[in-house]
Chains A and B, each alone.
Chain A
């Protein structure tokens, strides 16, 4: 029995017990899936500022939606659907003024550095999903949502208007969601 199958059976059983009010099983489930959620987000996006918020929002959403889980169905698709939804929602709503997480390998962009000279691999290394985006959609998404530039700063870096940046970020998030859904178990 591989690890995924063992996890699947254990988590499914714990949530089924939690639906009947078993607090011990529920605590065991949440304790085990929390690092799994973080690992999943790290693989998909790499390290980013909101990762801990996404983990907590995912746990809250799993708690709110726990009554919808059917123990006759697989647990992982149910859980990952919730995680994807909360993460994309947070990403969409996140303020563009946030800084990249301390300790990440991010090259600061200054006025002297042209956007096209930035090594984008430093941003997307380890992020499977971001690599799936076209450059046109990936660059504004990384600049605003991960590096934390405002729309105006991003537009200035890329040499396009603010409206173009907003449209590309919106399309990028939408494309990210589609890629993620296609990629997920």
Chain B
């Protein structure tokens, strides 16, 4: 620090020293410049979303297959029953939108309202097409493929993926961290829920109670986790 700056530091009045900045502003700027370190450029939120989805789907798929096979005929049902295909399309699109929303919200200045609204709309359509199965079932209700602890599995698969998502968000600078965390929580919760559409029995009541309902508890948990994380920072 130069002698000139040291003299300015000793001034106690706050009158602008150069006509534009006052002394406290000048001092703050000097401190921030002194604190400057090279900061590595982070990858964009779109690329980050792709990477996180790939990681989360891999973890959930490997874990699910390790604990049991997928429902017999599930792939055939996906390819040959348009109602089921549409349902899965809405679910997968919702995951993509929530992921993009969550990571976009971790960077200041990126408008994310539209993608977030799309995410919720796709999620609502996913649930609606499941509920349509009560009135227009595309397949006979069956317990074929039932997993004994599908809800517990969903919670277990949710945890590591959401922690990674929140950590990635916090490494950036989310201005509204709780909102960003909710999007991340929805994405992390939907992946195992959609996975169970293929891995567990298909019956609308079972799906809503044991695969979809956990999302509520998961989002509540992620809000608490996000707020605790922010306090610890």
Contact = CB atoms under 8 A, between A and B. Distances in A.
A159 interface: no
Nearest to B107: A68
B108 A26 contact: no
A23 B108 contact: no
B25 interface: yes
Given A68-B172, A77-B109, A21 B22 contact: no
Interface stretch (A78-86, A104-112, A119-127, A149-157): A78-86
Given A34-B21, A35-B21, A66-B39, A85 B175 contact: yes
Interface in B2-38: 20-22, 24-25, 28-30, 32-38
Contacts of A8: none
A64 interface: yes
B29 A68 contact: no
A32 B176 CA distance: 27
Interface in A63-110: 63-68, 70, 73-74, 77-82, 85
Contacts of B173: 61, 64-65, 67-68, 82
A56 B33 contact: no
B114 to A, nearest CB: 13
Given A23-B36, A63-B32, A55 B108 contact: no
Given A19-B38, A70-B44, A85-B175, A79 B21 contact: no
Contact of B108 (A20, A35, A63, A65): A65
Contacts of B24: 52, 56
Nearest to A70: B44
B73 interface: no
Interface in B160-180: 172-173, 175-176
B10 to A, nearest CB: 20
Interface of A is mostly: helix
Contacts of B44: 70
B142 interface: no
Nearest to B26: A31
A81 B109 contact: yes
Given A56-B24, A77-B109, A68 B36 contact: no
B42 interface: yes
Contact of A59 (B28, B38, B107, B110): B28
A34 B172 contact: no
Interface in A7-35: 18-21, 23, 26-27, 30-31, 34-35
A77 B173 CA distance: 14
A36 B36 CA distance: 21
A81 B175 CA distance: 8
Nearest to A77: B109
Contacts of A65: 108, 172-173
B108 A56 contact: no
Contact of A23 (B20, B33, B39, B176): B33
Interface in B65-84: none
Given A34-B21, A35-B21, A68 B108 contact: yes
Interface string A132-173: 000000000000000000000000000000000000000000
A82 B39 contact: no
A27 B40 CA distance: 19
8 closest A-B pairs (Cβ-Cβ)? A65-B173, A78-B109, A67-B39, A21-B38, A77-B109, A81-B108, A81-B109, A85-B175
Interface of A: 18-21, 23, 26-27, 30-31, 34-35, 52, 55-56, 59-61, 63-68, 70, 73-74, 77-82, 85
Given A19-B39, A27-B30, A35-B21, 13 more contacts: A18-B36, A23-B36, A27-B29, A52-B25, A61-B173, A63-B35, A73-B110, A74-B109, A77-B110, A78-B107, A78-B109, A79-B109, A85-B175
